[in-house]
Amino acid sequence: QLDQYWKIEHTNTFLDLKAAITARLMLQAPRYNNSIFIVTSDGCMLQTRCIEGFAAVLSQRVKVQTPTGKWVKCIH
């Protein structure tokens, strides 16, 4: 059982992480303005099939303005 190991600190950290990855700066809809889509995958090293599955993320390189007014390129 996880109950014996899971403490309030773990719950608080999980909630902080959840808030960070679902914030607007992290999670955004794609931009259909001729920006290139980037597919990143952990892939599967086996030639036959991925028994445990694999994960992938679709992202784009975009230019955004920080709260200080500076423009930076990042991947969303």
Please give the tally of structural domains in the chain: 1
The predicted-structure confidence for 3-33, as pLDDT tens digits, reads as follows: 889 999 999 999 888 887 777 666 677 888 8
pLDDT reported for residue 46: 57
pLDDT reported for residue 9: 93
pLDDT reported for residue 31: 82
User: Is 54 contained in some domain?
Assistant: yes
User: Is 2 contained in some domain?
Assistant: no
pLDDT reported for residue 7: 92
By mean pLDDT, which of 27-31, 35-39, 66-70 is the weakest?
A: 27-31
Query: How far, in Å, CA of 59 to CA of 39, rounded?
Result: 6
User: Is 3 contained in some domain?
Assistant: no
Quick one: which of 40, 43, 66, 62 has its CA closest to 53? 43
Q: Which domain holds residue 36?
A: 8-75
